[in-house]
């Protein structure tokens, strides 16, 4: 595993050259983000809330880089200035519904209802993908996003901490009113990532994977095929309502949908690993 090797080598160098205490894993990986503002997440053993195979309760997840905060209006404005086909009014109807960037004052102007430091919302999956691609990055996969978002301030997996879970659930229960806070308003989690909870919903690359249930090659008749396709799933912890809500939300999306509270951030593989 090249990244692990690099980390070990990096650690050795640090130990040789510095007499300070061991840096935290996050600090170690932070020395060379492939793009400014990214933080290293993982590698780790991810316990999916909704495993592809019910028998596989842990998935080894490769390390990756994730934006420390969601993409902002200002950043998205720079993108559409550079790529006019993604401007409001120019974007193909296939790629965004009529709500696309509706809170901006104009196709190339943010205005009062879209502050530069607020997370960009009213963006479709296609547009979010195009933004990340233009940056040489990509959208995170569901597993990656959830792995990063499972971390509390102090632990890789905070999901078994009732207090942490309740804080997150409290946000989901709060009606979205008023304007969004500027990005970076919530505390850093274990990996140094902010705003995964408490600000907006976020697109993932494989949002379409959410509604698919477990497979069985010996499935019988058509009705059975249909019936069991209803979306039975093997949930890791059926009291983790916030995870259920994200599954429900993602499964309701289409690639061209936009909403006032749906934004995104980008991810990248470790250097040398093809995207």
Partner 1 sequence: MKRLLLPLVLVACARTPPSPAPSLPTTVAPVPLPVEASAVALPTPATHTILPTAEVAQDASIYDLPAELVDQNAKAIDLAVWRGQPTVVALFFASCPQACPLLIGNIQYIEKGLTAAERAQLRVLLVSFEPVDDTPEVLRRVAKKYGLDTTRWRLARTDADTVRDIAAVLGVAYRKLDDGSFNHSSVITLVDAEGHIIARQDGIARSNEPVGPAIAKLLQHK
Question: Whose Cβ is closer to partner 1: residue 54's or residue 106's?
Answer: 54
Window 75-114: residues binding partner 1 (CB under 8 A): 92-95, 97
Q: Is 246 helix (H, G, I), strand (E, B) or coil?
A: helix
Q: Residue count at the site for partner 1 (CB under 8 A)?
A: 53
Q: Is 13 in the site for partner 1 (CB under 8 A)?
A: no
Contact 260, 104 (CB under 8 A): no
Residue of 12, 35, 113, 232 that binds partner 1 (CB under 8 A):
232
Stretch that binds partner 1, among 8-16, 69-77, 105-113, 204-212 (CB under 8 A): 204-212
Contact 97, 258 (CB under 8 A): yes
Q: Build a one-symbol-per-residue string for 255-274: x at contacts with partner 1 by CB under 8 A, - elsewhere.
A: xx------------------
Question: Whose Cβ is closer to partner 1: residue 116's or residue 173's?
Answer: 173
Stretch that binds partner 1, among 74-82, 185-193, 229-237, 258-266 (CB under 8 A): 229-237
What's the CA gap between 160 and 139, in Å, rounded? 27
Question: Minimum CB separation from partner 1 for residue 32, in Å?
Answer: 26
Burial state string for 3-28 with b = 16 or more CB within 10 A and e = fewer than 16 = beebbeeeeeeeeeeeeeeeeebbee
Question: Whose Cβ is closer to partner 1: residue 74's or residue 141's?
Answer: 141
Residue of 33, 155, 182, 241 that binds partner 1 (CB under 8 A):
241
Kindly give, in sequence order, each residue whose CB lies less than 8 Å from that of residue 220, ignoring residues fewer than 6 positions away: none
What's the CA gap between 2 and 270, in Å, rounded? 9
Question: Whose Cβ is closer to partner 1: residue 181's or residue 255's?
Answer: 255
Residue of 38, 180, 183, 247 that binds partner 1 (CB under 8 A):
247
Q: Is 166 in the site for partner 1 (CB under 8 A)?
A: no
Contact 165, 240 (CB under 8 A): yes
Element (H, E) at 168: helix 162-173
Eight-class DSSP state of 47: -
What's the CA gap between 226 and 230, in Å, rounded? 7
Q: Is 30 in the site for partner 1 (CB under 8 A)?
A: no
Residue of 198, 229, 259, 269 that binds partner 1 (CB under 8 A):
229
Question: Minimum CB separation from partner 1 for residue 124, in Å?
Answer: 9
- Measured CA to CA in angstroms, residue 187 lies from 22, 42, 72, 174, 192 at distances of 23, 19, 18, 18, 9
Residues near partner 1 (CB under 8 A)? 52-57, 92-95, 97, 125-126, 205-206, 208-217, 219, 222, 224-239, 241, 244-245, 247-248, 251-252, 254-256
């Amino acid at each position: 595993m090249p990244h692990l090797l690099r980390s070990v080598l990096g650690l050795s160098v640090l130990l040789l050259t510095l007499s300070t205490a061991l840096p935290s894993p996050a600090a170690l990986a932070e020395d060379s983000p492939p793009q400014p503002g990214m933080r290293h997440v993982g590698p780790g053993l991810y316990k999916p809330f909704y495993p592809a195979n019910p028998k596989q309760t842990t998935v080894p997840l490769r390390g990756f880089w994730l934006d420390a905060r969601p993409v902002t209006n200002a950043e998205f404005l720079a993108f559409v200035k550079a790529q006019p086909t993604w401007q409001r009014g120019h974007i193909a109807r296939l790629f965004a519904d009529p709500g696309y960037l509706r809170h901006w004052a104009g196709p190339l102007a943010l205005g009062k209802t879209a502050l530069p430091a607020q997370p960009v919302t009213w963006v479709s999956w296609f547009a979010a993908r195009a933004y990340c691609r233009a940056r040489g990055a990509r959208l995170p996969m569901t597993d990656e996003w959830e792995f990063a978002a499972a971390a509390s301030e102090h632990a890789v997996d905070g999901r078994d901490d009732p207090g942490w879970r309740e804080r997150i659930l409290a946000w989901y229960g709060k009606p979205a009113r008023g304007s969004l806070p500027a990005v970076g308003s919530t505390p850093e989690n274990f990996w140094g990532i902010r705003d995964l909870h408490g600000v907006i919903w976020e697109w993932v690359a494989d949002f379409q994977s959410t509604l698919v249930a477990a497979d069985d090659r010996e499935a019988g008749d058509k009705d059975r095929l249909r019936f069991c396709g209803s979306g039975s799933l093997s949930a890791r912890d059926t009291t983790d309502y916030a995870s259920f809500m994200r599954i429900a939300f993602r499964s309701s999306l289409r690639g061209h949908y936009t909403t006032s509270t749906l934004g995104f951030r980008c991810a990248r593989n470790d250097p040398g690993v093809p995207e």
